[in-house]
């Protein structure tokens, strides 16, 4: 459609002429899509654009090496693709996330921008078709294999470069706190009720273990994402592409990204499903659950300062109330809990997108990309912030050790010596009278002070063993 508006130029695609902004690098197909989908302000992320540009760059290299693409044109495409990968043309990606389910509009957006920029590198004009967006830039490719490959590559790179390092930084900080807090013995809690003693350092060792396993799970997700559908073209058969094209492009992508990108051994499953994305999103959901547990525990352990648990002090970063002077809230852990809610919502969107596979193609790729990459970015950012503004500054108080002697579950250590029923009776009496387990046991059992000191030594209750001796003593 042309209207002869000022500051426009006419470009053509298979549907005919179209007015596009004169300064734009995109062409007719992109302009149609921008008009067709005025739905939101959401656009593909910098991560995705970079991955897509790297695919176009390496595809041009491979097609040139195989003698399928003129070297001058290939070099111009490579140069333009590198500029795109570096972020020069991010504002040219004007198509909404909520578009054609295959992402064809965004693939053509990239093809047109690269083609017009490459034409300039050859001395031509934008819109001249000196470099063709389909015949040259998209050679050996289809939106149906390029877009899911770009999503998976972007996600794998984001995990490798951002999220895994952030989780490992958290792991190290939690391990450091575990060592720092190891000497502190306090009352454990199960069902929110008093339980047997535990080291504060053991609690933090548990948190560190969650972070450690998060890193392990991310490695698995990255491995799954690295098996890409590139080379399947329209429906997985590989029509209109050289048989060696996908393998060679994957090899070059591996060199560029540092990720072992490999061609799938079953193109049909790779294009008719988003299973790899659904699995990766599930890993992110699992990690978000771990983060919720860690942040929420820290929030509860720091409640008070006088009417709560108060076993740790959370760094004070800002005033907590507009009405209560001196109040300070656990705002950093709270930000984690909110980010977790968003990630779990994103996961549901990716799950629903996974249902979009019908016959030979999934038709919900853009929304899957938006939510998966958004979750990776959000988790990486909130984890780094949580580590640096909260975890590293945590301090232990003496509240946990002070309350330990009053704990009723110290009676558990008496079970091997006097039996479960007798120990339960002591716990109930201690609770009813306000006395300690030690005080009641001293009068209600035949155990000596030395034996009680031995049995009720908290340091012996935080490790495996049967220190109380046989039942019936």
Distances (CA, A) of 28 to 13, 127, 131, 159, 398: 6, 9, 15, 35, 69
Burial of 406 (0-12, 13-18, 19+ CB in 10 A): middle
The DSSP letter of residue 459 is: G
Peptide bond preceding 305 in cis form (omega within 30 of 0): yes
What does the alpha-carbon distance between residue 6 and residue 151 come to, in Å, rounded to a whole number?
A: 37
Burial of 115 (0-12, 13-18, 19+ CB in 10 A): buried
Task: Name 19's bridge partners.
Answer: 10
Region of residue 87 (left: phi > 0; alpha: psi -120 to 50; beta: else) = left
The DSSP letter of residue 461 is: S
What does the alpha-carbon distance between residue 440 and residue 424 come to, in Å, rounded to a whole number?
A: 12
Task: Name 357's bridge partners.
Answer: 362
Q: Which alpha helices (H) appear in 302-361, and where do they start and end?
A: 331-354
- In 3D space, the residue among 195, 257, 183, 185 whose CA is nearest the CA of residue 226 turns out to be 257
Q: Which alpha helices (H) appear in 405-456, and where do they start and end?
A: 415-418, 420-433, 437-444, 449-455
Going by C-beta distance under 8 Å and a sequence separation of 6 or more, which residues neighbour residue 159?
A: 218, 221, 222, 225, 280, 376
What is the enclosing helix (H) or strand (E) of 9?
strand 8-13
Pairing between strand 395-396 and 262-263?
unpaired
What does the alpha-carbon distance between residue 175 and residue 154 come to, in Å, rounded to a whole number?
A: 30
What is the enclosing helix (H) or strand (E) of 262?
strand 262-263
- In 3D space, the residue among 162, 43, 159 whose CA is nearest the CA of residue 106 turns out to be 43
Distances (CA, A) of 272 to 57, 122, 231, 278: 25, 38, 14, 13
What is the enclosing helix (H) or strand (E) of 228?
strand 227-228
Catalytic amino acids? 191, 321
């Amino acid at each position: 459609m042309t209207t002869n508006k000022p500051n426009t130029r006419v470009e053509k695609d298979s549907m005919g002429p179209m007015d596009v902004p004169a300064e734009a690098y995109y062409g007719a197909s992109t302009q149609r899509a921008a008009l067709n989908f005025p739905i939101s302000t959401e656009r593909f992320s910098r991560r995705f654009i970079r991955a897509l540009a790297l695919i176009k760059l390496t595809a041009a290299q491979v097609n040139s090496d195989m003698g399928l693409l003129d070297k001058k044109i290939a070099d111009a495409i490579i140069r333009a693709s590198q500029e795109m990968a570096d972020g020069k043309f991010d504002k040219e990606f004007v198509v909404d996330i909520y578009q054609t389910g295959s992402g064809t509009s965004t693939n053509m957006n990239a093809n047109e921008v690269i083609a017009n920029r490459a034409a300039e590198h050859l001395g031509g004009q934008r819109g001249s078709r000196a470099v063709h967006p389909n015949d040259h830039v998209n050679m050996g490719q289809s939106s149906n294999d390029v877009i899911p490959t770009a999503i998976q590559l972007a996600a794998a790179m984001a995990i490798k470069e951002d999220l895994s390092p952030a989780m490992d930084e958290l792991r190290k900080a939690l391990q450091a706190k575990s060592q720092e807090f190891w000497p502190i013995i306090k009352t454990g809690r199960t069902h929110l009720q008093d339980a047997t003693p535990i080291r504060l350092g053991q609690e933090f060792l548990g948190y560190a273990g969650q972070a450690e396993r998060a890193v392990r799970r991310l490695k698995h997700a990255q491995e799954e994402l690295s098996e890409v559908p590139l080379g399947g073209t329209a429906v997985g058969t590989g029509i209109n592409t050289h048989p060696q094209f996908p393998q060679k492009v994957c090899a070059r992508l591996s060199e560029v990204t540092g990720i072992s990108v490999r061609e799938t051994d079953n193109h049909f499953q790779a294009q008719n499903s988003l299973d790899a994305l659904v699995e990766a999103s599930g890993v992110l959901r699992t990690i978000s659950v771990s983060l919720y547990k860690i942040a929420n525990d820290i929030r509860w352990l720091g409640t008070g300062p006088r009417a709560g648990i108060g076993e740790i002090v959370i760094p004070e970063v800002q005033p907590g109330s507009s009405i209560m002077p001196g109040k300070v809230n656990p705002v950093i852990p709270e930000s984690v809990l909110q980010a977790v809610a968003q990630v779990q919502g994103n996961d549901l969107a990716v799950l629903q997108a996974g249902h979009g596979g019908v016959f030979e193609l999934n038709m919900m790729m853009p929304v899957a990309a938006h939510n998966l990459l958004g979750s990776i970015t959000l988790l990486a950012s909130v984890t780094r912030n949580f580590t640096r503004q909260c975890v590293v500054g945590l301090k232990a108080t003496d509240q946990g050790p002070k309350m330990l002697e009053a704990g009723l579950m110290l009676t558990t250590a008496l079970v091997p010596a006097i039996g479960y029923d007798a120990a339960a009776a002591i716990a109930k009496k201690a609770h009813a009278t306000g006395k300690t387990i030690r005080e009641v046991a001293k009068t209600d059992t035949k155990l000596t002070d030395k034996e009680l000191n031995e049995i009720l030594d908290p340091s012996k209750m935080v490790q495996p063993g049967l220190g109380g001796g046989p039942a019936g003593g």
